[in-house]
Amino acid sequence: MRRLIIPICLTFILLFGSCENKSSENSENNIVNIVVIYTNDEHGWIEPTDNYDGASGLMSMWKSVEAYDGSDKYLIISGGDMWTGPAVSTWFQGESMVEVMNAMEYDVSAIGNHEFDFKIEGLNNRLEQMNFPLISANIINKSTGEIPDFAKPYIIKEIEGVNVGIIGLASIHTPYTTAPVNVVDFEFTSYSEAIEEYSLKAKNEGADVLILVGHICEYEMEELTTIAKANGISIICGGHCHQVVAKDSNGVILIQAGANMKAYAKVEFNYNKLTKEAVNFTYEIVTNNQHDFDSEILDIVNYWNDRTDEELAEIIGYADETIYQSSTEMQNMVCDSWFYSFPNADVSITNSGGIRQNINQGDISLESIVGLLPFENFILELELTGEELIEVIDDFLIGGMTTIGGFNLHDGTPIYNDSTYTVLTTDYLYSLSDNNFALYDDEPINTSVNYRQPLIDWIKFLNTSSTNPLNDYLDNQPRR
């Protein structure tokens, strides 16, 4: 077990209190020990993988390493992006993930951008299932000006007489990191204003200690340390950028535990009820690779695995070597597969963020393609001039053309500024505000074909096997 421990002793002056050390009149009873266990960006990775142990491994470690017994002193928190990922979660719109998190007794989660992937209806279905609330202090319903029903700005958990306030933040980048149409009714407002407003409200409601849980990257966490500290927040938990962070910055503890249940973060401290101070903070990131599995959680994971297998067991092809997520072969294959379904199109444009895992050596199941391209993105068909095309490709992945040695179509024909080209992209990329797809074609054809479907159909068509592997059909030539 790799274990990175960074113990420090900080004296936090929180809402009240002085800098002095614990006074001698403190008895043991006035010291309350609190343990925060934190994951973020779980992305549906409940299953064990080669190197990490999934949800059941985490639960086992919480019990054996952290002595987790389900008692109040443990706060189990998620930073959001819980369920979009491999088929075992995505295919069921996160139902499996939430069942697992309920069983692990999560107390609360921030709202990640991908919580909106299955629309508000999908989010509400999950919320109905959850035994824990979603928090965000900076999502505003545009029509009411209020925080929407699916979110609370903060919660207060009482632990042995100590009120721990937990304030949520959603990423202000959410409108272009999920399908924008899914969040069109909401505004994602300033972090600092939300912190100021709701720290005060939480304190007025009796919070003794404040924790901020944001679906925010390390640079954003850093930027918020000053305002967090000024408002009595002692810990900022982050996410979204899948970073490993465990440090004291400007007197605030910052933690982020990577992604995909590969690790958890732990922050432990004591609250002194007499001096009203949170003291003796320690924090660490613990890797989930002890290879010991909690049977209750494993049973749930296995149940969903079986259901996934039943529904997606179909073998559609064969790879004699692993095709890696970020490889040129993978990127070209995804872009090129669309021409199988849309042979009259000239160019395809997608983004690397939509490609989420490897295709492993061996049989290729439907399940592996759902995990590879897990989003509910649909293919649009646009008509663009050469000049517009060259502008909108930006640094996206491209099929049917190259930018090496000039802008040319796949057959070597130059792309002429004034000629018109049929271009495929996803409704997701089209709806991003920082590119000009919509400016150049405001009436694209929505094919209603999911961006993964052509790849599935093409692989099936190739009828691949160990003697005719998919790898033989891949193009490893860079196009940029």
The footprint of Zn ion (CB under 5 A) covers 81, 112-113, 240
Q: CA–CA separation, 60 vs 295, rounded Å?
A: 8
Distance of alpha carbon 447 from the chain centroid: 27
Residue 43, CB half-sphere, CA atoms under 13 Å: how many? 20
- Closest Cα to residue 430, out of 376, 352, 377, 372? 377
Tokens of 374: 């897990």
Q: Closer to Zn ion at the Cβ: 68 or 375?
A: 375
Helix (H, G, I), strand (E, B) or coil at 316: strand
Least distance between Zn ion and beta carbon 464 (Å)? 34
Tokens coding 404:
């090496």
Is there a contact between 183 and 175 (Cβ–Cβ < 8 Å)?
Answer: yes
- Give the nearest distance from C-beta 293 to Zn ion in angstroms: 27
Q: Least Å distance between CB 405 and Zn ion?
A: 37
At residue 371, φ and ψ (nearest 5 deg) are -70, -35
Smallest gap from residue 43 Cβ to Zn ion (A): 9
Cβ closer to Zn ion: 240 or 266? 240
Torsion of CA 223, 229, 234, 240, to 10 degrees: -20
**Number of C-alpha atoms within 13 angstroms, CB side, residue 6?**
15
Contacts of 185 (CB under 8 A, 6+ apart): 120, 141, 142, 143, 148
Q: How far is the CB of 241 from Zn ion (least distance, A)?
A: 8
Instruction: Report, in Å, the least distance between residue 6 CB and Zn ion.
Output: 25
Q: What is the nearest approach in angstroms of Zn ion to the Cβ of residue 36?
A: 20
Nearer to Zn ion (CB atom), residue 112 or residue 168:
112
* Nearest one of 276, 233, 278 to 255, comparing CA atoms: 233
- For the chain, helix (H) and strand (E) counts, in that order, are 14, 25
**CB 386, CB 415: distance < 8 Å:** yes
CB of 123 to Zn ion, least distance (A): 14
Round to whole Å and give the CA distance between 178 and 117: 6
Looking at the Cβ atoms of 13 and 261, the one nearer to Zn ion is 261
Q: Using the minimum distance from each CB to Zn ion, give the nearer residue, 84 or 234.
A: 84
H/E stretch holding 383: strand 378-385
Q: Which residues contact 124 (CB under 8 A, 6 or more apart)?
A: 150
CB nearer Zn ion, residue 81 or residue 222: 81
Question: What is the C-alpha to C-alpha distance for residues 126 and 98, in angstroms, rounded to an integer?
Answer: 7
Rank residues 177 and 287 by Cβ distance to Zn ion and give the closer one.
Answer: 177
- Nearer to Zn ion by C-beta: 212 or 424? 212
| Region at 94 (left for phi over 0; alpha for psi -120 to 50; beta for the rest) | left
Comparing CB distances to Zn ion, the nearer of 113 and 275 is: 113
CB of 80 to Zn ion, least distance (A): 7
Which of 311, 329, 331, 328 is closest to 319 using CA atoms? 329
Q: C-beta of 70: minimal distance to Zn ion in Å?
A: 28
Nearer to Zn ion, 243 or 426 (CB): 243
